[in-house]
Structure 1
Amino acid sequence: MPESWANLGVDGVDLHLDVGSSGLRKGLTDALREAVRGGRLAPGTRLPSSRSLAVDLGIARNTVADAYADLVAEGWLTARQGSGTRVAQRSVPRPLAPPMPPRSSGSVAYNLLPGTPDLASFPRAEWLRAARRALGAAPNEALGYGDPRGRIELRTALADYLARARGVYADPDRIVVCSGFAHGLMLLAKVLRERRVREVAVDSYGLDVHWDVLAAAGLRLPPLPFDALGTRTEELAAMRPGAVLLTPAHQFPMGMPLSPGRRAEAVEWARLSDGLILEDDYDGEFRYDGQMVGALQGLDPDRVVYMGTASKSLAPGLRLGWMVLPGSLASVVAEAKGPEDWACGSLDQLTLAEFLTSGAYDRHVRGARLRYRRRRDQLVEALREHAPEVTVSGIAAGLHAVLELPPGTEQSVLRGAAWQRLGILGLSRFRHSDADLPARDAVVVGYGTPPDHAWAGALDALCRVMP
């Protein structure tokens, strides 16, 4: 059909439709959705009747009515008898937090930014040996376009490792390999939207880059209440989201595990409400005090999506992650990834599979765990000596610590760090803008980040900026 134009009765808002006859409904739905998402149609705006808009566009009235109905079902529009069709009242997107500082070694003199392991400790020689063995044994078809679920060799190795190390029920057919956590979350967000999920509850403290992935799919992100014991999962029943994103083994960035009672409450909510728990097990292998905290997924494999990566245990540059999915979702998520694996290199997958099955991965993690524990202990001791008013928390596991500061000092510490060219982040950087939380002054320090030769200098610089 030729191009069609219609004024929607709002100053400066025109609708342009230029699609083939078979795509009229979809084209109109997409155009209206983008007008609402982009703010050109404000909440509460009344849209033309289906009859008048159909006349303006020169299309059938049923097409407009169906497009309106689709957007009502998605939550973009509301329709009430007597008041017509209006743009739904939606929460205003929160202002994006400042972007993470660059992670390159040249951006800071002392790098204590959280989120990255010691890249200098990557086991290059062992990885190279695994790559040679994997390439030598690889069938020719491994060099072609792959299964969207990932190589069967890696999925089988992961199923064995996750079962014994993290308590995950992991059948290879339930695993989908992805290129990191954000990629996996993007695939899940797409599937959730297609299943008409509208809200995904999130922690009051977390990573905005993950929230933004979900928000970009049109999902609302109400924050769960948070107290001294961590995320209050008992509130899920009242909030009634379709899914929840949690870091139950080691809450990021606050550092506490989700208590047994709250773990059970989250699973019970998922069972009763047909909800889904997205479990981010980002550094579950690195626990130093007490027994290992197993994955939440083991409590109900049909209600929890377990997500892990090699980003903390090996290196984020590998771009290898995995999802262990409920049986009802495994094929759906694989379809969302595409008919062939365009994202994850087969040779890297085969190398990681060999690294796991040969025992090299376990040896590397054991060595890294000892090294990071020593650093944690040195951090605690140095702060006890040089900054006794600072409380260190969230250190039973992981690669970062939260330093609780005297009231009103977070910004002054960050300014001092900038002068020292010391890379640290304020706790406020990780706070959800809609969360009802008391004021809290703290900084988040990634003690796993520096190479060994730079650790002592980074620790000295940190002590210099403490109040």
Structure 2
Amino acid sequence: MDLLLDLDAAPGTTLRRRAEHALREAVRSGRLAVGTRLPSTRALAAQLGVSRGVVVEAYAQLAAEGYLVTRRGGGTTVGGAGAGAGAGAGGAGTGGAGASGGAWAGGGRAGGVGGGAWAGGGRAGAGADGGGAGSGGAGAAGDALGGTDAWGAVLGARRAAAQQVKHDLRPALPALDGFPRAAWLAAVGRVLRTIPDERLGYPDPAGAIELRATLAAYLGRVRGVRAAPDQIVVTSGLRQGLDLLWATLARQGVRRVAVEVPGWRGWRQTSEAAGIESVALDVDASGADVDAIADLGVDAVGISPAHQFPTGAVLSSRRRTLLVEWAQRTGAVIVEDDYDAEFRYDRKPVGSLQGLAPDVVVYGGTASKTLAPAVRLGWLVLPRPLVEPVLDGQRRLGGVPAPIDQLALADLIERGELDRHLRRQRRRYRRQRDALLAALERELPEVEVEGVAAGLHAVLRLPAGAEEEAVLAVAHARGVALDGLGHGRPALVVGYANLTVPAVDRAVAALADAVRAASPRSRPRVRRA
């Protein structure tokens, strides 16, 4: 199992003392509930990048203090001493912007090849989470197109387009063949054998309480999120959650939102659909340039601080502090997309922004990358003043995911199956990432590679003189599906998660041919960022 601990929170002390402090605070704050099973000493040491002895000694000290309970053969769990001594999850939303008369006072990503998909903000990739056009299912689309004949024509066109793609490097897809079918089937079976008949009626608009309680504990453990179950609203993916959120904020007076550029176009699409104007917020190596946010005249900001899409930048600690202080001072809303935070290879985990300021941050998450986009499950963690207004929208518009799916996900998390699945996928994605880097070194040494320390895609900066659109056109003609950055220096955005290692090698070789055909000059060796 994963456990997010910040060993930098107590500088100037030994690693053991820092580990003790981080564990103690996680228990005292209520982030780790009584009875929560902790990772083995070996597993936690590997996660933190420290020796096993550091964790063994930290566990022993906290067991002596009563914070942990260690049983021979039974592992280590959270004890009762000091548990929830802080404000805890339940008080996360009180005060702050809501109390001060702020923004809530008074109350998919497209597929295709190339074409500057991220200009003005766009997260592409066939079938990725939040693809609104396809979320209604075949029946709904057939009605809109005038019947089954039209829908059949659409399916035929899609199949024909897919056959033209020989090498699919589009981002935003996980390994679809890695979906844990057996574990999911077993979870659904357990749900169907035990669910009472009355639970098969109309679902709770907030989502199944079992899933909300499980998510509150899980997100607290792995992402540092501070929330009680009644602050969580389960949605049919992140986009549907944002539709609900922006509509709510628009009713409460939000008029302008800053969104990352380059970035996911869903920010712009969902906010503007609610009548909220979107304003560009530039992104650099330290994440979104929040130093400029005070001059933009915005009431809200949409941001992916742990792994910015598509650049892979991590919002710096200084900028996190500045952003939170701005929101708390002005009553603005921060909307956090915790994009790809689960998949990291060469850097330490980064906690959620919500954990720093649960009174002003709305946290959004989804199962589209951890499991698959077809699992239409997402969630919003809301400051308390926003819970009922968002639920009002959910009641009016519907869109609550199937309770059986919700309970199946809760079952997977409770049994540790999701943790095991993520560990398998991280190992797989690291192999595929390494294969991509090796293939680029061999086939395309003239490009600069960025954003590969985490996530499921990479940004390839093209050499001087290369034209992004020309490379995309040649690649498309040769059956290589990928996207362009469409912002700043010419670059390509390539996904590698939904490919085998041999397929990565073949795709990069084909891409190299396309790049040289469009811009044949040789360049310096590859650089990793």
Range class of TM-score, shorter chain: 0.7 to 0.9
Q: Secondary structure at the match of 1:134?
A: helix
1:463 aligns with 2:521: no
Aligned AA (1:214)? S
Aligned AA (1:338)? R
Aligned partners of 1:346 and 1:377: how far apart in 2?
A: 39
1:423 aligns with 2:472: no
Q: Who is 2:471 aligned against?
A: 413
Aligned partners of 1:235 and 1:402: how far apart in 2?
A: 25
Contact 1:199 1:222 in 2 (8 A): yes
Aligned partners of 2:291 and 2:279: how far apart in 1?
A: 14
| 1:193-342 correspondence runs (5 A) | 193-338=250-395, 342=399
> CA offset at residue 134 of structure 1?
1.7
> CA offset at residue 107 of structure 1?
5.1
Aligned partners of 1:261 and 1:96: how far apart in 2?
A: 26
**How has the CA–CA distance of structure 1 residues 319 and 383 changed in structure 2, closer, same or farther, with 3 Å as cutoff?**
same
The correspondence for 2:199, drawn from 142, 148, 154, is: 142
Contact 1:245 1:279 in 2 (8 A): yes
Contact 1:174 1:330 in 2 (8 A): yes
Q: Deviations over 1:2-44 (max 9, x none)?
A: xxxxxxxxxxxxxxxxxxxxxxxxxxxxxxxxxxxxxxxxxxx
Count of residue pairs the alignment pairs up: 365
Q: Who is 2:181 aligned against?
A: 124
Contact 2:333 2:360 in 1 (8 A): yes
Aligned partners of 1:163 and 1:142: how far apart in 2?
A: 27
Q: Secondary structure at the match of 1:224?
A: strand
Q: Who is 1:372 aligned against?
A: 429
**How has the CA–CA distance of structure 1 residues 456 and 138 changed in structure 2, closer, same or farther, with 3 Å as cutoff?**
farther
Q: Secondary structure at the match of 1:299?
A: coil
> CA offset at residue 449 of structure 1?
2.4
Scaled by the length of structure 2, what TM-score is found? 0.66
Q: Who is 2:494 aligned against?
A: 445
Q: Secondary structure at the match of 1:297?
A: coil
Q: Who is 2:56 aligned against?
A: none
Contact 2:123 2:264 in 1 (8 A): no
> CA offset at residue 339 of structure 1?
6.0
Contact 2:290 2:323 in 1 (8 A): yes
Q: Who is 1:58 aligned against?
A: none
> CA offset at residue 124 of structure 1?
0.5
| 1:108-119 correspondence runs (5 A) | 108-119=165-176
> CA offset at residue 233 of structure 1?
0.7
Aligned partners of 1:417 and 1:170: how far apart in 2?
A: 46
Contact 2:125 2:173 in 1 (8 A): no
> CA offset at residue 227 of structure 1?
3.1
> CA offset at residue 188 of structure 1?
0.7
> CA offset at residue 343 of structure 1?
2.9
Q: Who is 2:112 aligned against?
A: none
Aligned AA (2:492)? V
> CA offset at residue 353 of structure 1?
0.6
Contact 1:150 1:341 in 2 (8 A): no
> CA offset at residue 385 of structure 1?
1.9
| 1:73-92 correspondence runs (5 A) | none
Aligned partners of 1:304 and 1:262: how far apart in 2?
A: 15
Aligned partners of 2:451 and 2:125: how far apart in 1?
A: 22
Q: Who is 1:184 aligned against?
A: 241
The correspondence for 2:212, drawn from 150, 155, 159, is: 155
> CA offset at residue 464 of structure 1?
2.9
> CA offset at residue 466 of structure 1?
3.4
Contact 1:304 1:325 in 2 (8 A): yes
**How has the CA–CA distance of structure 1 residues 119 and 452 changed in structure 2, closer, same or farther, with 3 Å as cutoff?**
farther
Q: Secondary structure at the match of 2:492?
A: strand
> CA offset at residue 463 of structure 1?
3.3
Contact 2:262 2:282 in 1 (8 A): no
Q: Secondary structure at the match of 1:295?
A: coil
Aligned AA (2:199)? A
1:348 aligns with 2:348: no
The correspondence for 1:397, drawn from 454, 460, 463, is: 454
Identity fraction in percent: 46
**How has the CA–CA distance of structure 1 residues 351 and 276 changed in structure 2, closer, same or farther, with 3 Å as cutoff?**
same
Aligned AA (1:356)? I
Contact 1:279 1:305 in 2 (8 A): yes
Aligned-residue Cα RMSD (Å) equals 2.1
Contact 1:382 1:463 in 2 (8 A): no
Contact 1:145 1:340 in 2 (8 A): no
> CA offset at residue 204 of structure 1?
1.4
Aligned partners of 2:290 and 2:397: how far apart in 1?
A: 37
